C-alpha cells in the first residue's frame, strides 16, 4: 500500500496594523523612494511575510492508505494562534506525504514561523524541509520546475494538465488574488481555499506519475 497523503494550502491577509508594526515596515522600506514601488512592497510584505501577515485559512485534504478522502478547512480571523495550534495538532502524528504547490517557498515557512512566534511545537516530520527530495514534502511546483529553474503558476499547471482551475472565481470577479482577499467574504475565502486544495490534489495525481 502507498503512503497516506495530506494536501494543504493557506490563505493570508495583512495583520491588523499597530504602531510597532508600522514602524518596522517603514524601516524595512526606508530606501524605497518611489511611491508606486512602496505600494508594491507593502503588499508583498503584508501578504507574504509572517511578521506582517495573518493566516486566516488552512485547507486540507487527507487521503488514507486505502484511498479514502476527507476534506476540511481551518478558519479564523480572530485567533491566529488557535488556528495554527489546531493545524499543528491535526498533523502531529501524520507519517505520510505532505503535498502542496509552492509550499516550500510559502505555506510551510509561513506556518513554521507562526508556530515559532506562538511557541507551538510542530512535528519533526513537518519541519523536515530539505530541498531536492519529495518526502516528506512533495512540492508540485518544485517538481515541475526542477527546483525553480523557471516559473509555473498553479493556474498554468492546472491548464496544461487539464485540471479544473481553482482561480476561476478571480476571473469571474475580474480581480487579482490580493484584491480578492481584501474584499471577499469568509465563505468565499473558504471556498477558494478548498478549491485550491482540490486543484493541487488532482494535479498531484498527474504529476506524481512522472516525478517520484
Residue 108 pairs in a beta bridge with none
Q: Is residue 165 part of a domain?
A: yes
CA gap 161, 140 in Å, rounded:
12
Can you give the pLDDT at residue 105? Answer: 97
CB 203 within 8 A of CB 161: yes
Q: Is residue 159 part of a domain?
A: yes
**In the chain, how many domains are there?**
1
Q: Is residue 168 part of a domain?
A: yes
Q: Is residue 212 part of a domain?
A: no
All three cell numbers of 123, joined, read 512535528
CA gap 188, 192 in Å, rounded:
6
CA gap 192, 59 in Å, rounded:
9
| Exposure string over 93-119, b if 16+ CB within 10 A, otherwise e | ebebbbbbbbbbebbbebbbebbeeee
For the chain, the residue count is: 212
Q: Is residue 174 part of a domain?
A: yes
Q: Per-residue pLDDT tens for 65-105? A: 999 999 999 999 999 999 999 999 999 999 999 999 999 99
Tell me the mean pLDDT in the region 3-23.
Answer: 93
Q: Is residue 154 part of a domain?
A: yes
CA gap 193, 211 in Å, rounded:
25
CA gap 108, 116 in Å, rounded:
12
Q: Per-residue pLDDT tens for 43-55? A: 889 999 999 999 9
Place of cell 510542530: 122
End-to-end CA distance of the chain: 16
Q: Per-residue pLDDT tens for 146-186? A: 999 999 999 999 999 999 988 877 877 778 888 999 899 99
Range of the domain at 147: 5-207
Q: Does residue 198 have a pLDDT over 90?
A: yes
CA gap 137, 126 in Å, rounded:
8
Q: Does residue 1 have a pLDDT over 70?
A: no
CATH of the domain at 169: 3.30.420.10
Amino acid at each position: 500500500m502507498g503512503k497516506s497523503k495530506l494536501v494543504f494550502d493557506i490563505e493570508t491577509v495583512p495583520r491588523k496594523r499597530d504602531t510597532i508594526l508600522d514602524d518596522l515596515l517603514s524601516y524595512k522600506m526606508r530606501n524605497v523612494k518611489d511611491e508606486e514601488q512602496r505600494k508594491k512592497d507593502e503588499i508583498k510584505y503584508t501578504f507574504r511575510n509572517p511578521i506582517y501577515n495573518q493566516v486566516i485559512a488552512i485547507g486540507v485534504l487527507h487521503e488514507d492508505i486505502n484511498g479514502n478522502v476527507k476534506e476540511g478547512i481551518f478558519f479564523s480571523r480572530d485567533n491566529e494562534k488557535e488556528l495554527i495550534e489546531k493545524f499543528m495538532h491535526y498533523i502531529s502524528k501524520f507519517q505520510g506525504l505532505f503535498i502542496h504547490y509552492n509550499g516550500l517557498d510559502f505555506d510551510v515557512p509561513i506556518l513554521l514561523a507562526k508556530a515559532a512566534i506562538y511557541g507551538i511545537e510542530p512535528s519533526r516530520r513537518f519541519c523536515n524541509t530539505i530541498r531536492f527530495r519529495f518526502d516528506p514534502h512533495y512540492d508540485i511546483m518544485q517538481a515541475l520546475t526542477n527546483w525553480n529553474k523557471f516559473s509555473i503558476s498553479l493556474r498554468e499547471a492546472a491548464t496544461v494538465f487539464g485540471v479544473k482551475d481553482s482561480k476561476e472565481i478571480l476571473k469571474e470577479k475580474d480581480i487579482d488574488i490580493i484584491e480578492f482577499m481584501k474584499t471577499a467574504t469568509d465563505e468565499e475565502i473558504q471556498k477558494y481555499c478548498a478549491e485550491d486544495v482540490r486543484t493541487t490534489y488532482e494535479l498531484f495525481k498527474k504529476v506524481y506519475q512522472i516525478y517520484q
